[in-house]
Amino acid sequence: MTNTLAPLVAALMACSAAQAAPSCTVQTRPFGTLSSGEPVLAYTIRNARIEVTVLDYGGIIHAIKVPDRDGKVGNVVRTLEKLSDYEGNATFSKIVGRFAGRIGGGGFTLDGKRYDLVSRPDGVSVHGGPAGFGSRLWTSAAAECGVDLSLISRDGENGFPGNLQVKAAFRVNDADLRIDYTAATDKPTVINLTHHAFFNLSDAPDVYGHTLQVNADQWLPTDGKRVPTGEIAPVAGGLDLRKGRDLGPVAKSSEDIIKANNGLDHTFVLKDRHAATLSDAATGRTLDVFTSEPGLVVFSTNGWNGSVRDAGGRPLIKGGGLALETQHFPNSPNVPAFPTTVVRPESPLHSWTIFRFSTGAN
């Protein structure tokens, strides 16, 4: 009887082991040393469909490798050549905080108290001011199919109130990369987090051959300092991306609302959690973006001029990538009609974004 049952027992044990085996691996390696002397770690999360590398410096997404329709695997985010290049760029492929986007008027008033922010001479705070979250070395730990990052942002940093405990959890599942942000504060404050990765789904040096569809009927007009005025306007012309448009003609449009920014650099008011779809016909790759956030900033790297090279040695030229920044609206602290960015001790922040990759072969 023992001999008869042995094959069955062995099969059951093998099945159980297969079910218990992780669907992905997480590997940690040194990535380099910052100018401060602090070592940086790279976490590579890999499964059968996607490979993602995240740095604990700035929450940088250094790679997202997925196949094209023919099975050829490629990195679909633009990266920089050296760690020092990342140090020299405040937002490139990094977590942006405390406050993504622009805040005008030199600050804001919350619960009757005025807070003056570290701003440019024109009174505009950009991406929360200097030495933001993308310039910080986060505390990091490998997790199941991902990595957890955390940091403390002290009361008064760049003028923002409250001690913040911020966490960013990166998780890989199937062909998805999900980022969950949480932030707890000890006094009322404002916060707006996003990730500033630049996508290019193709082998081309620019994204002008891509098609972009954004689920938004409205967008946010800005003033001469590119700060939202508080108006919410219907999309029209080149900003009407509801049915999908080729990026080249849109980003190169002579329309005033696009020409003023030298390309796309606009905030869209999202209709639902499926924010956008970016696709490349040449490779068959598609990126769908889902989020809990009310807005999406679409930025077509209008200032890149080839003076900086990526990790593969290729010049980063105008239109070389596309940022799809899921976030609350810029200047929200000064516009009561916008969805609130206020976070209080009794109501921590939680937001999430999913980047989902597929191909015509899926």
Q: Catalytic residues, which ones?
A: 196, 325
Kindly state the tokens that stand for 260.
Answer: 């003023």
Looking at the DSSP bridge assignments, the partners of residue 342 are: 190
Cα–Cα distance between 290 and 13 in angstroms, integer?
A: 39
Please give the backbone phi and psi of residue 50, each rounded to the nearest 5 degrees, phi first: -155, 150
Tokens 């890149």 found at: 304
Instruction: Decide: 51 and 64 in contact? Cβ < 8 Å.
Output: yes
Please give the backbone phi and psi of residue 8, each rounded to the nearest 5 degrees, phi first: -65, -45
Kindly state the tokens that stand for 61.
Answer: 């997404």
Cα–Cα distance between 316 and 301 in angstroms, integer?
A: 9
Instruction: Decide: 206 and 194 in contact? Cβ < 8 Å.
Output: no
331's CB contacts (< 8 A; 6+ apart) are 101, 102, 103, 104, 227, 228, 230, 338
